[in-house]
Chain A
Amino acid sequence: MSLERQEVEKIAHLARLAVPEEDRETLARELSGILDFVEQMSAVDTGGVEPMAHPLRMAQRLRPDRVTEESRRELFQSIAPETEAGLYLVPKVIE
């Protein structure tokens, strides 16, 4: 299965990765190689196998519903680039 250059660009955009122009062809080839490798597994009949959601054969442990955290806003905001009135400030996002 081969991945086109445009698909690499789309994936990079979705992940917000800046991939240099000259690397894109190489990446397309390498990613295609990974897909080819995965494709080999399609040959195996997995009809009776339950899809795995996690490599560990364990179930999720549940936590009791208790408030255990107190405000550490000052500490957290001391590493934020910019804050005001208790809010984290970010470049304007408009819908």
Chain B
Amino acid sequence: MQWETVIGLEIHAQLATKSKIFSGASTAFGAEPNTQACAVDLGLPGVLPVLNGEAVTMAVKFGAAIEAEIGLRSVFARKNYFYPDLPKGYQISQYESPIVGMGQVEILLEDGSSKRIGVTRAHLEEDAGKSLHEDFHGQTGIDLNRAGTPLLEIVSEPDMRSAKEAVAYARRIHQIVRYLGICDGNMQEGSFRCDANVSVRPMGQEELGTRAELKNLNSFRFLERAINHEVERQIDLIESGGKVVQETRLYDANKDETRSMRSKEEANDYRYFPDPDLLPVELDEAFIAAIIADLPEMPDTKRHRFIVSYGLSAPDAEALTAGRALADYYEAVVASSGDAKLAANWVMVELGGALNRVGMDILDSPVKAESLGNLVARIKDDSISGKIAKQVFEAMWAGEGDADTIIESRGLKQITDSGAIEAVVDEVLTANPQQVENYRTADATKQPKMLGFFVGQVMKKSQGKANPQQVNDLLLSKLSL
């Protein structure tokens, strides 16, 4: 039997506000337990929530970025359940009238084509606290610093058909919230969390299979692995005569498996109702229009622009627009070098490789964009070869100065004077009469390979500074005499 996988994602993005969604307590990560949990966050009697305007603005920015309908009137509702890290006994969320309605994003598939993924809705809600289950003599410790941190829950349509598509979608949302500066995207610290609804159905069947919800996916790698595991588990289960039950499963990265959370009784009976402590949020068209006008260039637009104006391939454009800082850096290199393609290679390969090796962010790069652009310009104007440029780059990375200074002080400038190159070529030919003889009598198909020997010798003698193209041309003409 051929099976089709169906995946929908729920992403919780912590909004990068300074204070909480309904209180004036700080949202900074890593503080001493409960030092950022005020009376409102603790749910003490008599407190009232007051909505943070910045959280509303950020949600609208997201909606504008995915071309969604923005709710001119959205309503906060209480989602009722009991858990010690939720002191009020309900979470303030949005249910029937979310702030962001239907929108969409585009993902790039491995074969180079693109696919639109629907975003059903995105709504504002408050985060819960944290439960610590270890080391408290059989009790649970509660830290409410996170309680009340604003979240944007982004719900997708069940549009994804493989773990890879799900990861591409999650990465796209991650990229969008980072471009907008509304979420720091830190998955380890839990600022960006993914839950996946996964089901399988026989290929061609319209009706959806029963889904399981996967939680605890705190990296893109785990997201992919957990989905693949779950798909395999469901297919095995059905093919051996079993049935998938609707439940929540936790991904265990150490064991690389998903396991059932003890299903909570009546888990879905949240008895939502409008929160009487909060009035409906009303936005006017002018407010929304101002936010749309103020949006930065979004990844899709930037990617298409890079393809058109710089002649980049779709995968290169995708890689260079992964983050705003990287894209800005690349454009600065293009501006100062005047060569978009060379610039792309140098930013992605040499600079990207060097940053990766030390796990450094582009913003902290010791080689600034203008300097790299200057180096690329020296390759373009034939001052140095690509190979020498790598040496220069290493020296720049090590802080030895800018490209021109290094080329000058190390005497690396490429020899393009044909007289000078010819002298070296002659020297090499005279020193290797046997190889010259062999070359001239060899089969024409073998000659290109044999030519490499002479090129190598000339480059060695010129310390890599001879222009490779000129060396090649000179050797060819002299050897064919």
A binds B: yes
Instruction: Please report the C-alpha to C-alpha distance between residue A54 and residue B280 in the assembled complex, in whole angstroms.
Output: 7
Q: Which of A18-51 contact B (CB under 8 A)?
A: none
Please give the distance in Å from A27's CB to the nearest CB on chain B. Answer: 17
Q: Are B56 and A86 in contact (CB under 8 A)?
A: no
Q: Are A54 and B18 also in contact (CB < 8 A) when A14-B269, A63-B52 are?
A: no
Chain A residues closer than 8 Å to B280, beta-carbon distance: 53-54, 59-60
Binary CB contact string for chain A from 46 to 71 against chain B (1 if under 8 A, 0 otherwise): 00000001101011111111111101
Q: Are B141 and A85 in contact (CB under 8 A)?
A: yes
Which B residues between 24 and 83 are near A, CB-CB below 8 angstroms? 24-26, 32-39, 42, 44, 50-56, 75, 80, 82-83
B262 at the interface (CB under 8 A from A): yes
Contact status A63-B50, CB under 8 Å: yes
User: Which A residues lie within 8 Å of B18 (CB)?
Assistant: 65-67
17 A-B pairs besides A53-B279, A54-B278, A67-B24 with CB distance below 8 A are A13-B265, A13-B266, A54-B280, A60-B279, A63-B24, A63-B51, A65-B52, A76-B39, A84-B136, A86-B143, A88-B141, A90-B84, A90-B140, A91-B139, A93-B84, A94-B133, A94-B262
Residue of B nearest to A86 (CB): B33
Q: How far is the CA of A89 from the CA of B97 in the complex (A)?
A: 36
Closest beta carbon of chain B to A35's beta carbon, Å: 15
Q: List 10 A-B contacts (CB under 8 A).
A: A54-B276, A60-B278, A65-B53, A67-B19, A67-B26, A69-B24, A89-B136, A90-B142, A91-B139, A94-B262
Kindly list chain A residues whose C-beta atoms are within 8 Å of the C-beta of B262.
94-95
Are the CB atoms of A73 and B80 closer together than 8 Å?
no
Q: Are A60 and B34 in touch, CB under 8 angstroms?
A: no
- The 8 Å CB contact of A92, one of B17, B139, B143, is B139
Given the known A-B contacts A60-B281, A76-B34, A95-B261, are A87 and B132 also in contact in the complex, defined by CB atoms under 8 Å? yes
Docked complex Cα distance between A65 and B26 (Å): 10
Question: Given contacts A53-B75, A65-B53, are A86 and B276 in contact (CB under 8 A)?
Answer: no
A79 to B297, CA, bound (A): 51
Output the nearest chain B residue to A75 by Cβ-Cβ distance: B39
B19 to chain A, nearest CB (A): 5
In the complex, the answer to whether A10 meets B266 with C-beta atoms within 8 Å is: yes
Rank and list the top 10 A-B pairs by shortest CB-CB distance, nearest first: A68-B24, A62-B53, A87-B141, A65-B54, A86-B33, A59-B282, A71-B35, A69-B38, A60-B279, A88-B142
Q: Are B274 and A54 closer than 8 Å at their CB atoms?
A: yes
Q: How far is the CB of B441 from chain A (nearest CB, A)?
A: 80
Is A77's beta carbon under 8 Å from chain B? yes
Given A89-B136, A95-B261, check contact A73 B25 (CB 8 Å). no
Please give the distance in Å from A54's CB to the nearest CB on chain B. Answer: 5
Q: With A and B bound together, what is the CA distance between A85 and B143 in angstroms?
A: 10
The contact size tier of chain B is 35 or more
Q: Which residues of B contact A88 (CB under 8 A)?
A: 34, 84, 141-142, 144
Q: Give complex CA distance A35, B51 in Å.
A: 34
Residue of B nearest to A64 (CB): B53
Whether B139 and A90, one on each chain, are in contact in the complex, defined by CB atoms closer than 8 angstroms, is: yes
Instruction: Judge whether A56 and B52 touch: CB under 8 Å.
Output: no
Name the contact of A68 in the complex, choosing from B19, B42, B80, B82 (C-beta under 8 A): B19
Complex Cα gap A10–B280 (Å)? 31
Interface centre among A10, A65, A84, A89 (most CB of B within 10 A): A65
> Is the beta-carbon distance between A86 and B35 smaller than 8 angstroms?
yes
Please tell me if the beta carbons of A69 and B136 are within 8 angstroms of each other in the complex: no
Known A-B contacts A87-B142, A88-B34; A62 and B51 likewise in contact (beta carbons under 8 Å)? yes
Q: Does B438 contact A (CB under 8 A)?
A: no
Residues of B contacting A82 with CB < 8 Å? 139
* Chain A residue at smallest Cβ distance from B32: A86
Q: Are B32 and A62 in contact (CB under 8 A)?
A: no
B137 CB to closest chain A CB, in angstroms? Answer: 9
Q: Is B138's CB within 8 Å of the partner chain A? A: yes
Q: Give bound CA distance, A19 to B280, whole Å.
A: 35
Q: Which residue of A lies closest to B262 (CB)?
A: A95
Which residues of B are found within 8 Å of A54, using beta-carbon distances? Answer: 274, 276, 278-280
Q: Which of B120-172 contact A (CB under 8 A)?
A: 131-133, 136, 138-144
In whole angstroms, how far apart are the Cα atoms of A4 and B52 in the complex? 43
Q: List chain A residues, Cβ under 8 A from B144.
A: 88
With contacts A62-B53, A69-B38, A71-B36 taken as known, whether A89 is within 8 angstroms of B139 at the C-beta atoms is: yes
Within 8 Å CB of A68, what residues of B? 19, 24
Query: A16 vs B197: C-alpha distance in the bound complex, in angstroms?
Result: 29
Q: Which residues of B contact A62 (CB under 8 A)?
A: 51-53, 56
B446 contacts partner chain A, Cβ-Cβ < 8 Å: no
